[in-house]
């Protein structure tokens, strides 16, 4: 928290980062649409699609039917995972909380893999968001109970232990399923690293409503999360229903993660990195953090996917490789900074 | 004179029967005291080779599903015991079968090579990701373990005659590519993959550069459209796979193979799993049929 020491002078409005982030999003979007293409796509092609769309042109078709859904999926998945991480960190008051660290993504992935490999035929018949929602829900509920989140003063270490343990449990179960179902075991890699290489408009339609619902819920939760930041007791004194916030927060996280995983698989660490970056820029107010995380998450995901595409161009690489790589580095920086703070 | 020849041949024969069999494989040398009788194969390509020698394996790592081997190979063999999945065959089941020869894949089984050797003499050769030429070398090594190089060389010569016959029928400059499709995505088989080698053997071209190193390349629809082979064969693992999603996209119909009706769905077991001469000959026959009917219809 910053305290004004000098005399009042003009200061930019608190929401200025959002104004910077919006053009940033547009730029990342355009980059993602045009770069690393085998068809030599350029900015002019995008412009022509806008003013004079020609369905018989292969370049236009690539832009509209392949690149556009991929970029849109990146935006919504990035936003949903980032905000899911933010809400989780706010709710558990734990800086290391995120869907990929706490096993919620892994839970969703497990049911996703169960459904997609057809090992559990009944599951394959259900809509995929419902399947991942159940997976994320079960994982969330287990973290909730094992981590003791239903009790008033929470023990942060206990939550982390429960989350990390469950994460590994779900990851190994997913591995087991893939090995059982997959003759080549190429898939192990695929299921454990999120990818949006084959995103379609069907995926966009699938992810949009749930992400929006989750983002609205997160925005609605921003005030109670601000109160919770002051401490659980204070929050109770200020009349904020702690239990209700936790339940609604968990539901929001589960919804957002389920939406993201159902179209992209477990893209790691977006939910860990983005809230930290945003806190650094806009401070601790959740009313600003929620929109800021949505935008930053979307930008990060777009850039990561674009870079992943260039990693072994012309072969596509899953975006999850890049976010995990970035995330691991980020985790280390975070750990170092925390130690420096303590010292 | 006749007696002398008989005596000499008996001596020579008994000497050769007692002689050790030595085969240089991918990780060392296999030494056998006698011709193996109970063989287990940890990859499908070795079963193709065994079938050519008239040897029925007692165990096969068939992923728990005997039908993964194509009928023409299966019909030549007796029933076998499944050893489980190829990536992780059951050492216990292998040991219980008391084999006197294990044939393993250097890519999949190098990690358990020492364990396998403790069970029985192990011949470790290329299989997964092998090229067409690698396969012919490996087949010969399998034959060496049975002291049957001559028989196998004859079979390989016959194979080349058959392939030359098919190649002669295929006078085409068309590009041909095989790809597999599963729920995880579409994987193009490049020139280094077995199917790519068969295509090349028949004098056809791959749409991918000949020096593409990776045998199997994951393809987005964008990559596939850009690769744009004249003939596209896809082997699907499952009813609803990634290629079915590609078909929903308007770009699918932009591809030459879709426009010219030269896109076909084929058996992934034949084109990808059962690498070997028997499979290659059936693949060649399929290609001849595909290319002749489609040129006729055009």
Average pLDDT over residues A265-275: 90
pLDDT score recorded for residue A332: 84
Answer whether residue B6 shows pLDDT above 70. Answer: no
- Pairing outcome for strands B231-236 and B216-219: unpaired
Distance from CA of B116 to the nearest CA of A (A): 21
Task: Please give the residue of chain B at the shortest CA–CA distance from A60.
Answer: B251
Going by pLDDT thresholds of 50, 70 and 90, the confidence category of residue B11 is low
What is the pLDDT of chain B when averaged over all its residues? Answer: 89
Answer whether residue B298 shows pLDDT above 50. Answer: no
pLDDT score recorded for residue B55: 94
Higher-confidence position of B12 and A56: A56
φ, ψ of residue A148 in degrees (nearest 5): 70, 30
Residues of A in contact with B184 (CB under 8 A): 182, 186-187, 190-191
Tell me the C-alpha distance between A266 and A211, whole Å.
16
Least-confidence region, from A9-13, B191-195, B204-208 = A9-13
* pLDDT, tens digit, 9 for 90 and up, residues B149-177: 999 999 999 999 999 999 999 878 889 99
* pLDDT, tens digit, 9 for 90 and up, residues B75-105: 999 999 999 988 889 999 999 999 999 999 9
Block residue for tokens 């200025």:
A16
Tell me the C-alpha distance between A330 and A325, whole Å.
9
% of chain B at pLDDT higher than 90: 71
Average pLDDT over residues A164-193: 76
pLDDT score recorded for residue A245: 86
- The partner residues of B187 in beta bridges, in order of sequence, read B180, B218
Least-confidence region, from A94-103, B103-112, B158-167 = A94-103
Average pLDDT over residues A48-73: 89
Average pLDDT over residues A153-179: 84
pLDDT score recorded for residue A8: 64
Task: Please give the residue of chain B at the shortest CA–CA distance from A115.
Answer: B183
Q: From the CA atom positions of chain A, what is the Rg in Å?
A: 21
Residues of A in contact with B246 (CB under 8 A): 198
Going by pLDDT thresholds of 50, 70 and 90, the confidence category of residue A314 is confident
Answer whether residue B263 shows pLDDT above 50. Answer: yes
pLDDT score recorded for residue A127: 83
Answer whether residue B18 shows pLDDT above 60. Answer: no
Q: List b or e across B125-154, with b for residues whose CB sees 16 or more CB atoms inside 10 angstroms.
A: bbbbbbbbebbbebbbbbbbbbbbeeebee
pLDDT score recorded for residue B297: 43
How far the first Cα of chain A sits from its last, in Å, is 20
Going by pLDDT thresholds of 50, 70 and 90, the confidence category of residue B296 is very low
pLDDT score recorded for residue B19: 64
Going by pLDDT thresholds of 50, 70 and 90, the confidence category of residue A265 is confident
Distance from CA of A319 to the nearest CA of B (A): 13
Answer whether residue A223 shows pLDDT above 80. Answer: yes
% of chain A at pLDDT higher than 70: 91
Tell me the C-alpha distance between A270 and A302, whole Å.
11
Question: Does the bond joining A314 to the residue before it have cis omega, within 30 degrees of 0?
Answer: yes
Q: Which residues contact B273 (CB under 8 A, 6 or more apart)?
A: A183, B44, B68, B69
Going by pLDDT thresholds of 50, 70 and 90, the confidence category of residue A233 is confident
Residues of A in contact with B182 (CB under 8 A): 182, 187
Q: Which residues contact B147 (CB under 8 A, 6 or more apart)?
A: B16, B21, B35
Average pLDDT over residues B264-279: 92
- All structural domains of chain B: 20-154 (3.40.50.1980), 165-296 (3.40.50.1980)
Least-confidence region, from A9-23, B52-66, B180-194 = A9-23
- The partner residues of B216 in beta bridges, in order of sequence, read B189
Tell me the C-alpha distance between A287 and B212, whole Å.
52
Q: In this complex, do B183 and A186 lie within 8 Å of one another by their Cβ atoms?
A: no
Relative orientation angle of helices A242-264 and A201-229, to the nearest 10 degrees: 150
Answer whether residue B123 shows pLDDT above 80. Answer: yes
- Would you state the torsion angle of the CA atoms of residues A294, B222, A56, A75, taken in this order, to the nearest 10 degrees? 0
% of chain B at pLDDT higher than 70: 92
Does the interface predicted TM-score (ipTM) exceed 0.90?
A: no
Task: Please give the residue of chain B at the shortest CA–CA distance from A197.
Answer: B220
Average pLDDT over residues B13-23: 66
What is the pLDDT of chain A when averaged over all its residues? Answer: 85
Answer whether residue A152 shows pLDDT above 70. Answer: no
Q: In this complex, do B222 and A58 lie within 8 Å of one another by their Cβ atoms?
A: no
Answer whether residue A119 shows pLDDT above 90. Answer: no
* Residue A257: C-alpha distances to residues A100, A130, A295 (Å): 9, 12, 17
Answer whether residue A322 shows pLDDT above 70. Answer: yes
Q: List b or e across B28-59, with b for residues whose CB sees 16 or more CB atoms inside 10 angstroms.
A: eebebeeebeebbbbbbbbbbbbbbbebbbbb
Task: Give the helix/strand (H/E) hosting B218.
Answer: strand B216-219
Q: Which residues contact A185 (CB under 8 A, 6 or more apart)?
A: A178, A179, B87
Q: In this complex, do B225 and A187 lie within 8 Å of one another by their Cβ atoms?
A: no
Higher-confidence position of A208 and A11: A208
How many residue contacts between A and B have a Cβ separation below 8 Å? 74
- Would you state the torsion angle of the CA atoms of residues A70, A73, A79, A80, taken in this order, to the nearest 10 degrees? -150
CA B20 to chain centre: 28
Q: In this complex, do A65 and B250 lie within 8 Å of one another by their Cβ atoms?
A: yes
Q: Which residues contact B121 (CB under 8 A, 6 or more apart)?
A: B30, B31, B32, B36, B100, B101, B102
Average pLDDT over residues B272-296: 88
pLDDT score recorded for residue A195: 86
pLDDT score recorded for residue A7: 57
Average pLDDT over residues A83-90: 94
Answer whether residue A78 shows pLDDT above 90. Answer: yes
Tell me the C-alpha distance between B128 and B68, whole Å.
15
pLDDT score recorded for residue A56: 82
Nearest 5°: the CA angle A276, A281, A285 is 80
CB B188, CB B208: distance < 8 Å? yes
* Residue A277: C-alpha distances to residues A17, A82, A266, B49, B150 (Å): 12, 11, 21, 59, 70
């Amino acid at each position: 928290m910053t305290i004004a020491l000098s005399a009042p002078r003009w200061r930019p409005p608190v929401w200025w980062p959002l104004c910077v982030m919006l053009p940033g999003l547009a730029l990342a979007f355009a980059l993602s649409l045009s770069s690393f293409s085998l068809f030599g796509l350029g900015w002019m092609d995008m412009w022509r699609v806008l003013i004079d769309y020609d369905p018989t042109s292969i370049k236009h078709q690539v832009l509209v039917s392949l690149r556009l859904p991929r970029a849109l999926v990146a935006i919504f998945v990035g936003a949903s995972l980032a905000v899911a991480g933010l809400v989780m960190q706010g709710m558990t008051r734990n800086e290391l909380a995120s869907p990929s660290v706490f096993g919620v993504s892994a839970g969703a992935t497990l049911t996703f893999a169960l459904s997609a490999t057809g090992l559990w035929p009944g599951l394959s018949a259900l809509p995929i968001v419902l399947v991942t929602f159940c997976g994320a829900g079960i994982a969330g509920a287990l973290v909730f109970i094992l981590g003791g989140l239903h009790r008033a003063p929470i023990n942060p270490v206990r939550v982390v232990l429960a989350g990390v343990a469950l994460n590994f449990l779900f990851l190994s179960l997913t591995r087991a399923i893939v090995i059982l179902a997959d003759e080549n075991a190429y898939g192990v890699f695929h299921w454990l690293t999120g990818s949006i290489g084959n995103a379609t408009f069907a995926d966009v339609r699938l992810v949009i409503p749930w992400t929006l619902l989750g983002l609205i819920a997160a925005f609605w939760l921003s005030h109670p999360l601000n109160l919770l930041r002051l401490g659980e007791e204070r929050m109770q004194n200020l009349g904020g229903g702690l239990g209700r916030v936790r339940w609604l927060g968990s539901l929001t996280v589960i919804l957002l993660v389920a939406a993201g995983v159902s179209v992209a698989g477990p893209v790691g660490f977006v939910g860990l990195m983005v809230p930290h970056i945003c806190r650094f820029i806009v401070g601790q107010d959740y009313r600003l953090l929620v929109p800021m995380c949505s935008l930053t998450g979307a930008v990060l995901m777009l850039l990561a996917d674009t870079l992943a595409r260039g990693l072994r161009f012309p072969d596509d690489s899953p975006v999850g490789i890049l976010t995990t790589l970035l995330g691991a580095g980020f985790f280390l920086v975070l750990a170092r900074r925390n130690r420096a703070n303590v010292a | 004179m006749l007696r002398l020849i008989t005596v000499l041949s008996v001596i020579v024969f008994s000497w050769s029967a007692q002689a050790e069999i030595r085969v240089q494989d991918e990780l060392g040398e296999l030494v056998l005291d006698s011709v193996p009788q109970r063989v287990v194969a940890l990859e499908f390509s070795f079963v193709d080779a065994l079938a050519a020698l008239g040897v029925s394996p007692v165990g096969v790592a068939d992923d728990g599903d005997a039908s993964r081997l194509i009928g023409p190979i299966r019909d030549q063999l007796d029933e076998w015991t499944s050893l489980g999945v190829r990536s992780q065959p059951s050492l216990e089941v292998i040991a219980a079968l008391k084999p006197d020869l294990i044939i393993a894949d250097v890519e999949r089984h190098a990690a358990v090579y020492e364990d396998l050797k403790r069970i029985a003499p192990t011949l470790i050769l290329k299989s997964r990701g092998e090229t067409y030429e690698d396969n012919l070398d490996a087949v010969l090594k399998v034959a060496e373990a049975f002291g049957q190089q001559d028989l196998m060389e004859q079979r390989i010569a016959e194979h080349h005659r058959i392939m030359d016959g098919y190649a002669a029928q295929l006078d085409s400059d068309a590009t041909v590519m095989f790809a597999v499709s599963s729920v995880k995505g579409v994987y193009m088989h490049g020139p280094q993959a077995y199917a790519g080698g068969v295509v090349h053997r028949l004098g056809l071209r791959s749409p991918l550069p000949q020096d593409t190193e990776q045998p199997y390349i994951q393809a987005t629809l964008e990559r596939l459209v850009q690769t744009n082979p004249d003939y596209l064969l896809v082997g699907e693992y499952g009813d609803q796979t990634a290629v079915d999603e590609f078909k929903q996209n308007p770009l699918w119909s932009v591809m030459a193979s879709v426009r010219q009706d030269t896109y076909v769905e084929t058996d992934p077991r034949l084109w990808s799993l059962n690498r070997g001469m028997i499979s290659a000959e059936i693949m060649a026959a399929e290609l001849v049929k595909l290319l002749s009917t489609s040129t006729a219809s055009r």
